[in-house]
Amino acid sequence: MKLKSPRRNVQLYPGRCLCHRTNQLPALTGWQARVVRLSDSRKPVSLVYMNRNVMKPTSKTVLGLHLPTDPRWANLAKISLEEILTDHAYCEQKAATACISLVQLYPDHQELVESVAPIVTEEWGHFRMVLQELKKRGLQLGYQRKDEYVNGLLAFQRKGGKREERLIEKLLTCALIEARSCERFRLLSIGLSDPDLSDFYYKFMVAEAGHYRLFLDLANLYGSPEKVRIRWQEYLDFEARMLSGFPVRGDRMH
Ligand SMILES: [Fe+2]
Ligand SMILES: [Fe+2]
């Protein structure tokens, strides 16, 4: 599906947007979700609805990503269920840890603290859901492996600079990991014949799409939207180059 205007594909409902300073919606190319914000909610993102039929498998712009995942990945992941669930479990742990770290580093950023604190609970809940799924299927949680994907993104972050600039780097890194996770959960959701597993991954897809949006909103709140937009494109380019150099492995989420 070719998108003409990002805004055309996004419906923001009444409520305060974290991007209220500029009301800009950056990096929405390919975003085909309906983001719903409850006007009486203190949470910046309350609900995200995604139609699993909207994002076609051939789309090259799922959440603005510059490189669609190799279709062979989902097939490989299907036959490595124990490994992919183990890797997924640790991804959820790392997501929770990243949010805790943001709070520890930026306690003076009230919007940030109030926005990401609930995500810690949510990500830990995701970890527990994966544990439950492993148990249900008689599978064992394995050991954590070296995460080349996340390490690559961390290496890409600009070091030094102002504290606020480092925050933007962290938020964009989080947004990108969420976007890629969302894209891959979607592939698993539509590619698996087991309806329980398909629904299982669908729930993750929806949740991570909301987190992607939240981290981008926060980046725009604390940074110049124009600079954030440019830097986000650099992240997307880098991630696409990095992933294209990775072997297609079905035992890893990324
Ligand atoms: Fe998660
Ligand atoms: Fe997440």
Distance CA 110, CA 135 (A): 38
Q: 97-140 pLDDT, tens per residue?
A: 999 999 999 999 999 999 999 999 999 999 999 999 999 999 99
Domain locations along the chain: 75-244
46 Cα to the center of ligand 1, angstroms = 15
Distance CA 175, CA 215 (A): 5
Query: Which band of pLDDT confidence, cut at 50, 70 and 90, is reported for residue 48?
Result: very low
Q: Which ligand ends up closest to the CA of 211?
A: 2
57 Cα to the center of ligand 2, angstroms = 22
CATH of domain 75-244: 1.20.1260.10
Q: 142-199 pLDDT, tens per residue?
A: 999 999 999 999 999 999 899 999 999 999 999 999 999 999 999 999 988 899 999 9
Q: Which helix (H) or strand (E) holds 201?
A: helix 195-222
Classify residue 158 by its DSSP letter.
Answer: P
235 Cα to the center of ligand 2, angstroms = 18
Instruction: Record the pTM.
Output: 0.78
Q: Which ligand ends up closest to the CA of 89?
A: 1
SS3 for 246? coil
111 Cα to the center of ligand 1, angstroms = 20
